[in-house]
Amino acid sequence: MSLALKPSLGVAIPPPFTQYSSLQTDRVDWESMAQYVLGKAAVAVIRICNPPLNTFSAKTLLALQQEVKHANIDPTVKAVVICGANGKFSAGADIKMFSSLDRGSTPSLGSVIDLIEKSDKPMVAAIEGVAFGGGLEVALGCHYRIAHVQARVGLPEVTLGILPGAGGTQRLPRLIGIPASLDIITTGRHIWAAEALKLGIIDEIVEENTVEAAIRFAERMSDHPVGLHRLCSKQIPSLPNMDAIIKEALVKVKKQARGYLAPEMCFQAVVASLHLPFEEGLRKERDLFHFLLSSGQAKALQYAFFAQRNMEKWTLPSGASWKTAAPKPIQRAAVIGLGTMGRGIVVSLMKAKIAVVAMEQDKNNLEQGRGAVMALLDREALRMQQSGQTLDVHKPGLLHFTLDFNALQDVDLVIEAVFEDMALKKKIFHKLSTVCKPEAFLCTNTSCLDIDEIAAVTRHPHQVIGTHFFSPAHVMKLLEVIYGQHTSPTAIATAMSLGKAMGKIGVVVGNCFGFVGNRLLGPFRDQAHFLIEEGSTPEEVDQALEGFGFKMGPFQVSDLAGLDIGWRLRKEQGLTGASLPLSTPPRKRGGRRYSPLLDFLCEKGRYGQKTGKGWYQYDKPGGRVPKSDPWLHGFLADYRNTYNITTRTITQDEILERCLYSLVNEGFQILSDGIASCPEAIDTIYINGYGWPRHRGGPMFYASEVGLSVVLAKLQKYAEANPDIPSLQPSPLLRKLVALGSPPVSEWSSLVGSQNSKL
Ligand code: 3HC
Ligand code: NAI
């Protein structure tokens, strides 16, 4: 069998095919190619059809089972091709089915795959679009797999808190070995056809009509015995250092999991394939699958999956959705400012095949920006090449660097990413509105400034919009799309559609200081600072939050980002220091508690990793490994003495409750203020932009799982003990929901009402 890239033969299959049923939702269609294919063998085509992604619902499964049986008993059929309708093989089991316990007479996916694999007639999977989860498991049950060059395969169940439960953990290792299977199944990553071919997951790649190619392939194989191609009876390829490989993989999985169960269960299922006969391995897989399915984590991850998809369905209060508002096509865009953010934004646009004009303020910054952008692009091109994709970095006309505003005359959209300075941003937007064509969209990447104030200096405020990317912008998936007072639905639609083209998760939010993400961060970070004033250490706070599932605690994040971000601006505005004005009580701002700790560290030149010292110490400036710093502990002790703060032992529970519940409380306030359209929006933002552990389902989902009355009672307790911290005062919406009996998250939006909506 050829492993080379092989175009389909391009010979038209002579019509007409005998069509036993027409294509319709939730049916597996049956076409008999019988006597028509090259006048030789008879190949039946079973097409899985359940739009949009041909997932396996109860009906689809039943139909697939029937049609496989049909093909098996039809004496005219010598081989079978299984494909999916509309150019997509299948995205796997219908996730919504997991919550229904009553499966009635539906066959299990595993039993249907077993039927396919046991067939004596060659079964060929023709993979177009995607074959994920149960979709790939069906393909692994087939005796051969042909894929289109643009197809992707994978077993992403781990990202839903479960594991491949229809034999994937037992068949894949028999096909490609343990190390590659562990990588694929414990990470759930998507694999492009070229890599899948290299790994041996698929047998052939075609560039044209995959189903036709599979039919020809099936025809060639129709008189070959299939025994050797049944993965259930294959031996796992053995390796001399298997024990070491497994040990190393377990360490890696544990390190990345941070309390997330599915990766380790995936690991166990794959390793079982090495030690157990196939049928016993399947039983082990099934047990682990059911254990995970009943865990709260699977519920949280599946909630997060649908919450994210709901962001695309966002509708205006008028009922018009950003989709019906018809996005404008963006062929040419400009990025102003090639610093930390601008560079990544250029790369994201280029990856979406949009021509970019990249602009800086002076030659020096332009050359630095050019160097950084080209290095990022080369790295991306290499990475994409390794997975069989292309990124044409040097195509003439695709990327132009400039210092000249006039180069922006014909762009369809501009993204400004200069310093966070309102006066500078206004100057730039004023200039843009005179230079750019009137229909150009003008976007700002501000982290918190007022979109309306920026729009007010332009001639076309309805074209102005916030597009808040996250750092590094070419990697991070989140894009907050900020809807200003004047922003048109078309501008929102265009930004959302551009985000999708760049592979981002766009979430539309209202205009307020910090929007959703950074506004939520405020109370959380404040609590972290107050806790170390009262007696905790940065290490204790970080460990508690890392134990909860964050990749990094707030103090490590602060060291990484730089303590001086924000501090410089506040210092310029005279807002730093213990007392403000000097005559007011220390550690207070307008009667509210204020922690000047970060200001004091910055004044001592402790900016974090970049200076080798911050909340932790590092072996050198730029060092990455944080070490506890005795100096800082001494400094905290002196600080508490100076301000007469009674030090107490603070429990891990108090750390978690104060940090997390104050954040959740702000979430309720954001919903009441109409800044987020629904709790799912807040959760999607926090998971994808702020490192909230996905297996906890986002802060609002987490609150509902803990119990809203528990969150309320804790907030009341901490608010009483800390009357000068308003963010601990329970939000009226939280109180209302508790009074209403704590309805589920899906009902909160309708209870908030739209009277305050900024969307
Ligand atoms: N179950 C139910 N619905 C699904 C689904 C699934 N497996 N996969 C996608 N959908 C739905 C989406 O919710 C969305 O519905 P909507 O239009 O009502 O919002 C619609 O299909 C289109 O999906 P996307 O918007 O996500 O389409 P994209 O083109 O952006 O992405 C995709 C396509 C990458 C395939 C993405 O949909 C995806 O990752 N799907 C999940 C794949 C997966 O995890 N499969 C494993 C399922 S579990 C399993 O198979 C268990 C088995 O081992 C026993
Ligand atoms: P940066 O300081 O790294 O880069 C800003 C760039 O803008 C510099 O290269 C500077 O030379 C250029 N610039 C300044 N004035 C200019 C002008 N008149 N014309 C052209 N270029 C000009 O800043 P960074 O971090 O990239 O931030 C940019 C914006 O993105 C800010 O509004 C910031 O708040 C926001 N942001 C930053 C994030 C981060 O993590 N750094 C995250 C999300 C948003």
Give the model confidence (pLDDT) of 689-743 as tens digits: 999 999 999 999 999 999 999 999 999 999 999 999 999 999 999 999 999 999 9
When pLDDT is cut at 50, 70 and 90, the band that residue 458 belongs to is: very high
Letter string b/e over residues 213-222, b meaning 16 or more CB atoms within 10 A of that residue's CB: bbbbbbbbbb
For position 683, what pLDDT does the model report? 98
Indicate the pLDDT class of residue 102, thresholds 50, 70 and 90.
low
Which position has the higher pLDDT, 3 or 677? 677
Predicted local confidence at residue 21, as pLDDT? 30
Per-residue pLDDT for 388 more than 80?
A: no
Q: How far is the CA of 53 from the centre of ligand 1 (A)?
A: 7
Helix (H, G, I), strand (E, B) or coil at 636: helix
Q: How many CB atoms lie within 10 A of CB 716?
A: 14
CA atoms within 13 A on the CB side of 464: 26
Least reliable range by pLDDT among 339-348, 514-523, 579-588: 579-588
Is it the case that residue 462 has pLDDT exceeding 90? yes
Q: Which of 451, 515, 469, 541 lies closest to 667 in space, CA to CA? A: 515
Q: How remote is the CA of residue 367 from the centroid of ligand 1, in Å?
A: 43
Domain 19-274 top-level CATH class: alpha beta
Distances from the Cα of 164 to the Cαs of 109, 415, 628, 676, in angstroms? Answer: 11, 41, 41, 35
Is-catalytic flag, 212? no
Active site residue 157: yes
State the chain's mean pLDDT as an integer.
91
- CATH 1.10.1040.10, the chain: domain bounds: 536-642, 652-752
Residue closest by Cα to atom 46 of ligand 1: 133
User: Where do you find CATH 3.90.226.10 in the chain?
Assistant: 19-274
Of the residues 335, 340, 478, 504, which should be mutated to test ligand 2's pocket, given the most ligand atoms within 8 Å of the CB? 340
- Please report the pLDDT score of residue 10 as a whole number: 25
What is the model's pLDDT at position 35?
A: 39
Interval 65-93: pLDDT, tens: 999 998 999 888 999 999 999 999 999 99
Q: Which two three-digit tokens encode residue 206?
A: 């075609």
Q: Of the ligands numbered here, which is closest to the C-alpha atom of 88? A: 1
For the Cβ of 639 lying below 6 angstroms from any atom of ligand 1, the answer is no
Which ligand does the CA of 137 lie closest to? Answer: 1
Model pLDDT, residue 442: 98
Q: Ligand 1 pocket, 91 CB below 6 A?
A: yes
pLDDT attached to residue 572: 80
Nearest ligand 1 atom to the CA of 132 is 45
Q: Which of ligand 1's atoms lies nearest the C-alpha of 159?
A: 44
What is the Å distance from ligand 1's center to 52 Cα?
A: 9
Q: Is the model's pLDDT at 547 over the cut of 90?
A: yes
Q: How many residues does the chain have?
A: 759
Cβ contact 632:532 at 8 Å: no
State how far the alpha carbon of 3 is from the alpha carbons of 81, 147, 202, 652, 706, in Å: 19, 12, 9, 56, 52
Q: With bands split at pLDDT 50, 70 and 90, how would you rate the model's confidence at 570? A: confident
Topology given in CATH for the domain delimited by 652-752: N-(1-d-carboxylethyl)-l-norvaline Dehydrogenase; domain 2 (1.10.1040)
Active-site annotation holder among 157, 533, 540, 666: 157
Listed in order, the ranges of the chain carrying CATH 3.40.50.720 are 332-509
Tell me, what's the pLDDT at 230?
A: 98
CATH code for the domain defined by 536-642: 1.10.1040.10
Q: Whose CA is nearest to atom 40 of ligand 2?
A: 471
Considering the domain 332-509 in this protein, what is its CATH number? 3.40.50.720
Q: Is 113 in the pocket of ligand 1 (CB under 6 A)?
A: no
Model confidence at 669: pLDDT above 50: yes
- Which has the minimum average pLDDT: 309-323, 347-361, 717-731? 309-323
User: Is 129's C-beta closer than 6 angstroms to any atom of ligand 1?
Assistant: no
Do the bridges between strand 355-359 and strand 191-192 make them parallel or antiparallel, or are there none, so unpaired?
unpaired
Closest Cα to residue 607, out of 542, 561, 641, 668? 561
Q: What is the pLDDT of residue 589?
A: 85
From the list 31, 117, 128, 137, the catalytic residue is 137
Which is the closest atom of ligand 1 to the Cα of 94?
1
- Please report, as a single letter, which amino acid is at residue 694: R
Ligand 2 centroid, distance to 175 Cα (angstroms): 49
